[in-house]
Structure 1
Amino acid sequence: MRVTIAGAGAVGRSVAQELLDNGHQVLLIDKDPGAINADTVSGAEWLLADACELSSLEESQMQQCDVVIAATGDDKVNLVVSLLAKTEFAVPRTVGRVNHPSNEWLFSESWGVDVLVSTPRLMSALVEEAVTVGDLVRLFTFRQSRANLVELTLPTDSPHLGQRVGNVTWPGDVALVAILRDQAILTPDADRSLEGGDELLFVASEERETEIARLLAPDEHPG
Structure 2
Amino acid sequence: MRFVIIGAGRVGLRTARVLREEGHDLTLIERDEAMVRRAQRESFTVVTGDGSRESILEDAGVESADAVGALTSDLNVNFTACMIATHYGCRTVMRIDEAYREEIYRKYADEVDEVVYPERLGAIGAKNALLGGTIRAIADVAPNLQIVELTVTDEAPTNGYTMGELELPADATILAHGKRDRSLEIPSPDESLEIGDRLVVLADFDVLSDVRQLVVGERPTQAAANAGTGGIN
Letter in 2 for 1:142: V
Q: Give the match for residue 215 of structure 2.
A: 216
The answer to whether residue 159 in structure 2 is matched with residue 161 in structure 1 is yes
- The answer on whether the counterparts of 2:29 and 2:47 sit within 8 Å (CA) in structure 1 is yes
Q: Which residue of 1 aligns with 2:46?
A: 46
**Alpha-carbon distance in 2 for matches of 1:208, 1:15:** 30
Q: Aligned partner of 1:12: which letter? A: G
Corresponding position of 1:89: 88
User: For the structure 1 residues 4 and 198, does the alpha-carbon distance in structure 2 shift closer, same or farther, using more than 3 Å as the test?
Assistant: farther
How far off its partner does 1:47 sit? 1.5
Deviations 1:107-148, CA, capped at 9 Å, x for gaps: 4414526131231453145325633898x776642349x853
Q: Could you tell me whether the CA contact under 8 Å between 1:141 and 1:147 is conserved in 2? A: yes
Q: Which one of the candidate residues 185, 197, 200 is aligned to 1:188?
A: 185
Taking a change above 3 Å as real, the CA distance of residues 133 and 61 of structure 1, as seen in their structure-2 partners, is: closer
TM-score (norm 1): 0.68
In structure 1, what is the equivalent of residue 141 of structure 2? 142
TM-score normalised according to structure 2 size = 0.65
The question of whether the paired residues in 2 share the 8 Å contact of 1:174 and 1:205 is answered with no
**Cα 1:32–1:180 shift into 2, 3 Å:** farther
Q: Distance in 1 between the 2:15 and 2:133 partners? A: 29
In structure 2, the partner of 1:152 is 150
The number of aligned residues is 214
Q: How does 1:36-75 map to 2 (within 5 A)?
A: 36-37=36-37, 39-42=40-43, 44-75=44-75
RMSD: 4.1
Asked if the contact 1:163–1:194 (Cα under 8 Å) also holds between the matched residues in 2, the reply is yes
Structure-1 separation of matches of 2:79 and 2:179: 33
* Structure 1 pair 178–126 and aligned structure 2 pair: CA distance change class (3 A): farther
- TM-superposed deviation, 1:179: 5.2
* Per-residue Cα deviation, 1:4-48 (whole angstroms, up to 9, x for no partner): 211112332222112111111111111234333464333x43222
Match for residue 34 of structure 2? Answer: 34
DSSP 3-state at the match of 1:5: strand
Instruction: Work out the CA distance in 1 between the residues paired with 2:15 and 2:152.
Output: 30
Indicate conservation of the 8 Å contact 1:155/1:217, yes or no.
Answer: yes
What amino acid is the match of 1:187?
A: L
SS at match of 1:55: helix
Contact 1:28–1:47 at 8 Å: present in 2 too? yes
Overall identity of the aligned pairs, in %: 22
Any stretches of 5+ residues in structure 1 without a counterpart?
none
